[in-house]
């Protein structure tokens, strides 16, 4: 397999290894040296056997042995324009990190001057919508909008038990234990705890003693929805950390039944190049929860 990369400004007058090690999955430095020895790298049509300088707009061709071919991952793009990209994230993948959704996107946007950056996060095994900014201005605006609560985030959650109230706005306090990678909820303020606000609306009551909820968070703390719903007696089915193992086994679910399914741009303040998004709603359809 041959992979082609057009050098962008970031790598202008940089060594060839920097480009390849950052942009090609599964290639480490020893493998890069082996490719050079075998003359399996071309720059502008000429084979090279040294770690030379490269320049903007150079064409780099890398001939990968079968065992190093990159896994083809199709991104589920829900919306894209010149400023933002919205992806439907699957379960069992982090938003950021070494083997993350962000890394996959960066490798598919190799020739972009600015690689799309995530503006918020959801848990590894929570599915759903993630917004990526495609330029610096959009990133600054979106980070500010999330901080000012001008973007609504709605989740679908399948919980065990039927809530007594059709809808409720819950306030509590959350403590994050870094060592255990777990959070704890308190009804009253304690030292080290942060305030959380979680709203839910019952969308569907099912015969198997489960309920489908629309959940909106006004504060975006780690594991907030999962821990808060469990705290009030309605654990999310499939949640191995805050749920109940016997219930998860009963329903045959290994991951939490939680999906970020709707985003609404409720811009109240100046939004610059993203003003056209004001009032726009992006929503997933046909969610299997």
Tell me the pTM: 0.76
214 strand-pairing partners: 156, 201
Residue-wise pLDDT for 48-79, tens only, equals 999 999 999 999 999 987 765 555 567 899 99
For residue 168, the SS3 value is: strand
The percent of residues in the chain predicted with pLDDT above 70, rounded, is 97
pLDDT at 75: 86
pLDDT at 268: 95
DSSP secondary structure string, 252-277?
T-SS--EEEEEEEE---S--GGGGGG
Grade residue 108 by pLDDT with cuts at 50, 70 and 90: confident
Q: Is 153-260 a domain of CATH 3.30.200.20?
A: no
Catalytic residues: 123
CB atoms within 10 A of CB 170: 16
Distance between CA atoms of 182 and 191, rounded to whole angstroms? Answer: 17
User: Average per-residue pLDDT in the chain?
Assistant: 93
* Cβ atoms of residues 144 and 128 within 8 Å: no
Distance between CA atoms of 216 and 225, rounded to whole angstroms? Answer: 9
Domain with CATH 3.10.290.10 in the chain: 2-68
Residue-wise pLDDT for 190-216, tens only, equals 999 999 999 999 999 999 999 999 999
Q: 16-23 and 29-37 helices cross at what angle (nearest 10)?
A: 120
Q: Please, what is the Cα angle at 91 between 86 and 94, to 5 degrees? A: 70
pLDDT value at 4 more than 80? yes
pLDDT value at 109 more than 90? no
Class of residue 61 by CB neighbours under 10 A (exposed 0-12, middle 13-18, buried 19+): middle
Q: Which CATH superfamily is domain 2-68 in?
A: RNA-binding S4 domain (3.10.290.10)
Domain with CATH 3.30.2350.10 in the chain: 77-151, 153-260
- CATH dotted code for 77-151: 3.30.2350.10
237 strand-pairing partners: none
């Amino acid at each position: 397999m041959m992979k082609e990369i057009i050098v962008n400004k970031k790598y202008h007058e940089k060594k060839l290894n920097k480009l390849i090690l950052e942009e090609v999955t599964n290639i480490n430095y020893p493998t890069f040296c082996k490719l050079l020895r075998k003359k399996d790298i071309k720059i502008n049509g000429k084979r090279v056997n040294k770690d030379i300088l490269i320049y903007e707009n150079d064409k780099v061709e890398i001939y990968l042995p079968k065992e190093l071919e990159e896994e083809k991952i199709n991104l589920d793009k829900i919306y894209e324009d010149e400023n933002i990209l919205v992806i439907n994230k699957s379960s069992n993948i982090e938003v950021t990190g070494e083997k993350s959704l962000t890394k996959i996107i960066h490798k598919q946007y190799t020739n972009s001057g600015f690689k799309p950056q995530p503006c918020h996060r959801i848990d590894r095994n929570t599915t759903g919508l993630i917004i990526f900014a495609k330029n610096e201005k959009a990133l600054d605006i979106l980070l500010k909008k999330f901080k000012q609560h001008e973007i609504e985030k709605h989740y679908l959650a399948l919980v065990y038990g039927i809530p007594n109230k059709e809808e409720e706005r819950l306030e509590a306090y959350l403590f994050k234990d870094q060592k255990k990678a777990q959070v704890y909820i308190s009804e009253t303020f304690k030292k080290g705890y942060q305030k959380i606000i979680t709203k839910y609306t019952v969308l569907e009551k099912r015969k198997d003693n489960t309920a489908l909820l629309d959940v909106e968070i006004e504060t975006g703390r780690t594991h907030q929805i999962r821990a808060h719903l469990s705290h009030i007696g309605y654990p999310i089915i499939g949640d191995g950390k805050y749920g109940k193992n016997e219930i998860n086994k009963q329903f045959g679910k290994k991951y939490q039944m939680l999906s970020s399914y709707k985003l609404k741009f409720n811009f109240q303040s100046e939004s610059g190049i993203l003003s056209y998004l004001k009032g726009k709603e992006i929503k997933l359809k046909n969610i299997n929860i």
